[in-house]
């Protein structure tokens, strides 16, 4: 899983924990924690750099895209294949190559959780989002 994994989330985010409202807008998401999990071995905390994931990600609900927004990095975008907004959450999912990803963003407090399935391992992502 050394390819650029932008999706999670999306998913997904730890700098701003402000509530967000459901509408076609942009959100900035900060990934605060990432855990790599392998069967039998369990999970260990890893850096976003270790899995080529941007620490800051812009979610555009209208264009259905995720774009890396970390400093000193060339922005890369990823299309969101599925996006659903309810009164309480934004649900996202997609794939990149052989990897699949999903994320949920709470509109009540901005909390983001997400996951990436990649070959023999998976990644759990945690963070926060706020309106851009």
pLDDT per residue as tens, the chain (132 positions): 434 444 343 333 332 333 444 446 899 999 999 999 999 999 999 999 999 899 999 999 999 999 998 777 778 899 999 999 999 999 999 998 999 999 999 999 999 999 999 989 999 999 999 998
pLDDT of residue 4: 45
Q: Is the pTM of this model over 0.75?
A: yes
> How far is 122 from 132, CA to CA, in rounded Å?
29
Q: Could you give all domains of the chain from N- to C-terminal order, each with its CATH number?
A: 26-131 (2.40.128)
The residue among 94, 90, 68 whose CA lies nearest residue 79 is 94
pLDDT of residue 115: 97
CA distances (Å), 84 to each of 65, 105, 110, 111, in order? Answer: 13, 11, 16, 16
């Amino acid at each position: 899983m050394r390819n650029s994994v932008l999706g999670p989330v999306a998913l997904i985010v730890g700098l701003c924990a402000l509530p967000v409202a459901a509408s076609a807008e942009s959100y900035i998401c900060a990934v605060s924690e990432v855990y790599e999990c392998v069967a039998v071995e369990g999970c260990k905390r890893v850096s976003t750099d270790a899995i080529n994931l941007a620490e800051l990600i812009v979610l555009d609900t209208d264009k259905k895209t995720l774009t890396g927004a970390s400093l000193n990095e060339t922005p890369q975008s990823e299309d969101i294949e599925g996006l659903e907004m309810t009164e309480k959450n934004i649900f996202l999912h997609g794939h990149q190559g052989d990897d699949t990803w999903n994320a949920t963003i709470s509109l009540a407090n901005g909390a983001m959780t997400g996951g990436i399935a990649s070959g023999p391992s998976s990644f759990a992502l945690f963070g926060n989002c706020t309106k851009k």
